[in-house]
A and B are shown apart, each in its own frame.
Chain A
Amino acid sequence: MTATGQAPMTEQTLDQLHRAAFSYFLHAVNLANGLVADTSRENSPASIGVVGFALSVYPVAVERGWMTRADAVERSLATLRFFRDSDQSGSPEATGHKGFYYHFLDMHTGIRAWCSELSMIDTAMLMAGALTAASYFNADTSTESELRGIVDALYCRIDWSWALDGKATVRLGWKPESGFLSYGWDGYNEAIVLYVLALGSPTYPIASDSFEAWTATYQWENLYGYDFLYAGPLFIHQFSHAWIDFRGIQDRFMREKQCDYFENSRRAMEVQREYARRNPHGFAGYDESCWGVTACDGPSQQEPELADEPHRLFGYAARGVPYGPDDGTLSVWAAMASLPFAPDIVLRTAGVMLDRYPESLSELQFASSFNPTLSRADRRAWVSAGIFGLDQGIVLLMIENYRTQLNWRLMRKCHPVRTGLRRAGFRGGWLERRPSSEDREHAPAQ
């Protein structure tokens, strides 16, 4: 059967993958503090971004009957209490500073791991998860009231304006040893959710000018026949969409372009397909039904068996199209995470990719990446070892948003998100309507 003739993924398979992604959060968690491991690899620290996804998936699990509401509340509360009580001194051994948190934390002690940076984007993802929890767990019970109170306190103590460091746009990170990172963070990236939360803050908001200053670095390009807001790695077009429903709402930039970020992500997916069809480097496997070039783990010449590989390998890198880096490494999860944008194409693509490269799944969980150009003697593709929490989180939420829009609906009624979007200049669509009576929708039976 040709690739294009491949039958799309069945609902049953989708259900299995959905559930399997959730099992990562069940098993990679430290129940004592709610921290979730960055990867399934040995001695992995926690990633606060993955914790943000964990807080976002517990409501999904409750709705799907994978977890009781009480269990979900308990796990969420353990997480939130840990962050509430964490060391915010900003010392090298602390957990956070100014309401932000270090990117990686020790799974047991919760203190900074790997000398990581205080991460603005990962703190935003953590808070997006916390706000999701506060939006979902809306019952008038002591535990759910406590949960909402902690989320409010955590959100309000983040000094977003400090993260500007006097500049026009938000800095990428900060380290106690050297201050704000000098890394550039211009151009469209996954930071809309960060800007929205920073703009929506009732305590330390950034000014709307910052969002404008950031969008001034955007590049609207016509590439392969598609007009779109350019960014190379596919995940950039997905991560903010895990929480925010961008259908029909537009900021000034998108109004000018007569587009919205949701449609833009669909076009970005088409650009990926076009790139894979062209396959300029001649890598194995690439075609319009096999794509997914994104930030991911990947092969490296550091691996003894790949030391003599003639073409350059990039290890963990933000792979992108059309300018690379590209070493033949693809991610099925990245294709899957485009599901809401173009369900027919993505279900067919995922079906094809898993049919051709079943080794890219491990116990139905997506590996970070695979590389068919580096096939081994058994003709199986090189596959990234272990499982990455971010990959499972984005896949789980995007499948859910495709199926029920649960996470989008939860955040549509989140006051900081609505305020932040408006301050960023977003108008139209659901943003013009009052939050519906969905508040009652997720309340437990009394």
Chain B
Amino acid sequence: MLPRNDRLSVAPSDAAESERRENVHPDDWRNPAPAGCYNLVVIGAGTAGLVAAHAAAALGAKVALIERRLLGGDCLNVGCVPSKAIIRTSRLYAEMRHATQCGAQIPGDIRVDFPAVMRRMRGIRARISRADSARRLTEDGVDVFFGDACFAGTEALTVDGRTLRFKKAMIATGSRPDTPSIPGLVEAGYLTNENVFDLTELPRRLLVIGGGPLGCELAQAFSRFGSKTIIAQSWPLFLPREERDAAQILSDAFSRDGIEVRLNTRAVNVRIDGGQKLVDLVIEDHKSTVVVDAILTGTGRVPNVDGLNLEAAGVDYDNTDGIRVDDFLRTTNPRIYAAGDACLEHKFTHSADASARIVVRNALFLGRERLSALTIPWCTYTDPEIAHVGLYVQQAHTKGISVKTFTIPMHDVDRAITDSEEAGFVKIHVKEGTDRILGATIVARHAGEMINEVTLAMVAGIRLRTLARVIHAYPTRGDAIKKAADAYNRTRVTPFVNNLMRKWLSWTRR
């Protein structure tokens, strides 16, 4: 295994960082004396762990929450929260540069104050950390332990030299960046989501390796801050899971932002020369070398399953897929469940949240809720954003389901036109011959907000014809979804029905 970057934050020690530290891992914290036996011991205080601890404690359970490092996990500290904060600022800079598109003047002196960008991010991160602080958890009745959890059998574990006994346990240890095996990378030093938010200076030249969500989001953000950015992706398109049109629109957006896009490209070697990082890139048979100041890797994530002594607990796992769970999120030890990135294919904050809620119900209240019943949307927060829920067309075809897609380009949506935000589309997939929604992909400036309506429809069993009856405030971007529903309704007017209507109207004119 490659050595990992230092996971502890080395962000500037300002008031915001002090507050966050006080909330997520107080320096003077003393672990409580363990209770006799816990209803639920939660290992890992990321999104899944926090949700489960809060929910179980609120329902009267005796709960212990164990965290190795920082409460809030990746999402709060090195994931969604800091990335969205800096993406917001990067969008603003992009809008300033393209102000004429909206009939505005481009400000005369656009200078990126990168320290200010990061300072704002730290302030936001500290503010959001208040909701799940160690002290607040304690006030809510959760025993918070900081330290490394290690199973000591099927019904107990140790932390900080103490033994915690449990009726049920939940493993929510999250995941970490999967570092690509590139000779010289470790020696040269590299960034991942775990340390990129500690930067205090903008890299003048940045190579992003990996075209997944993290790589795409940060490549665009840093490019908009002024880094000369190259993104190298070993696949033919970005976001290989997404529809090719979505990936194509993203490629175009990257080019507009001045990002140098290298598809079908592998980084094969890194070396240092004169303080600069030289990276050899290979596309098919052609090799080239780029010189950069920083390298950011975003090539996937691996579950955190090491150091837990899972064998002693009778919990099966592997280093790639994580903790093995059934559809009820139960591990091979019926007392122990898992949630979040440690066991899920879809490693998102909201799926961690949803899976934790399932565990609380199934573990503590004899619930029979299934992971497979969840409808999980996701969004990549590039500009435009790319959001998806449900099946892709090819997945449906594989299942033998015939699909029809109702497509509304954003350039047909009035609000998108008024806002000069016409890049993208809404595609809603239905089972052919019906209006049952199988899935949707939305590419738009605010696709993450828009996908929620489709997700709601899918969860509630609302069909397209019903969506067509929902009055959408005009003008909104969400109108695109109603337009797709209206397009479905128009297909219901068969030539036979059309003929009948014409005859009726003709008759009523007499």
Pick from B119-127, B158-166, B244-252, B306-314 the stretch touching chain A.
B244-252
Q: A184-B236, A323-B249 are in contact. Are A278 and B285 (CB under 8 A)?
A: no
- Which of chain A's residues have a CB closer than 8 A to the CB of B234? 182
The yes or no answer to B141 lying at the interface (CB within 8 A) is no
Chain A binding site: helix, strand, loop or mixed by DSSP? loop
Distance, CA A382 to CA B16, complexed state (A): 56
- Which of chain A's residues have a CB closer than 8 A to the CB of B490? 225
Are B411 and A177 within 8 A (Cβ)? no
Please report which residues of chain B, range 397-425, place their CB below 8 angstroms from some CB of chain A when the two chains form the complex. 397-398, 402-407, 409, 411-412, 422, 425
Q: A184-B237, A222-B487 are in contact. Are A322 and B285 (CB under 8 A)?
A: no
Q: A183-B236, A222-B487, A322-B409 are in contact. Are A216 and B244 (CB under 8 A)?
A: no
Q: How far is the CB of B241 from chain A (nearest CB, A)?
A: 12
Distance, CA A337 to CA B37, complexed state (A): 77
Are B394 and A216 within 8 A (Cβ)? yes
- Which of chain A's residues have a CB closer than 8 A to the CB of B404? 220-222, 227
Distance, CA A175 to CA B285, complexed state (A): 8
Q: A216-B394, A222-B491 are in contact. Are A325 and B244 (CB under 8 A)?
A: no
Interface residues on B, range: 35 or more
The yes or no answer to B6 lying at the interface (CB within 8 A) is no
Q: How far is the CB of B239 from chain A (nearest CB, A)?
A: 12
Contact with A along B228-270 (1 / 0, CB 8 A): 0000001111000001110011001001100000001000000
Please report which residues of chain B, range 357-395, place their CB below 8 angstroms from some CB of chain A when the two chains form the complex. 393-394
The yes or no answer to B284 lying at the interface (CB within 8 A) is yes
In the complex, the chain B residue whose C-beta lies closest to that of A185 is B236
The yes or no answer to A187 lying at the interface (CB within 8 A) is yes
**Complex partner residue of A220 from B236, B398, B432, CB under 8 angstroms:** B432
Are B244 and A187 within 8 A (Cβ)? yes
Distance, CA A325 to CA B245, complexed state (A): 11
Q: How far is the CB of A435 from chain B (nearest CB, A)?
A: 33
- Which of chain A's residues have a CB closer than 8 A to the CB of B432? 220, 256-257
The yes or no answer to B205 lying at the interface (CB within 8 A) is no
Interface centre among A115, A222, A224, A278 (most CB of B within 10 A): A222
In the complex, the chain B residue whose C-beta lies closest to that of A186 is B244
The yes or no answer to B330 lying at the interface (CB within 8 A) is no
Are B236 and A323 within 8 A (Cβ)? no
Distance, CA A183 to CA B265, complexed state (A): 11
- Which of chain B's residues have a CB closer than 8 A to the CB of A324? 248-249, 252
- Which of chain A's residues have a CB closer than 8 A to the CB of B245? 232, 323
The yes or no answer to A415 lying at the interface (CB within 8 A) is no
Distance, CA A221 to CA B491, complexed state (A): 12
The yes or no answer to A404 lying at the interface (CB within 8 A) is no
The yes or no answer to B427 lying at the interface (CB within 8 A) is yes
Distance, CA A318 to CA B59, complexed state (A): 59
Q: A177-B285, A184-B244 are in contact. Are A325 and B252 (CB under 8 A)?
A: yes
Contact with A along B468-510 (1 / 0, CB 8 A): 0000000000000000000110110000000000000000000
Q: Which 9 residue pairs across A and B have the least CB separation, nearest first? A: A177-B285, A280-B411, A216-B397, A184-B236, A178-B285, A178-B284, A221-B405, A223-B407, A322-B409
Interface of A toward B, CB cutoff 8 Å = 115, 175, 177-178, 181-184, 186-187, 216-225, 227, 230, 232, 256-257, 278, 280, 312, 322-325
Q: A175-B284, A221-B405, A322-B409 are in contact. List 4 more A-B contacts (CB 8 A).
A: A223-B409, A256-B402, A280-B409, A322-B425
A-B contact pairs, 30 of them (CB 8 A): A175-B284, A181-B284, A182-B234, A182-B235, A183-B264, A184-B237, A186-B394, A216-B394, A216-B398, A217-B394, A218-B393, A219-B403, A220-B403, A220-B432, A221-B406, A221-B427, A222-B405, A222-B406, A222-B407, A225-B487, A230-B407, A232-B245, A278-B411, A278-B412, A280-B409, A322-B425, A323-B245, A323-B248, A323-B249, A323-B425
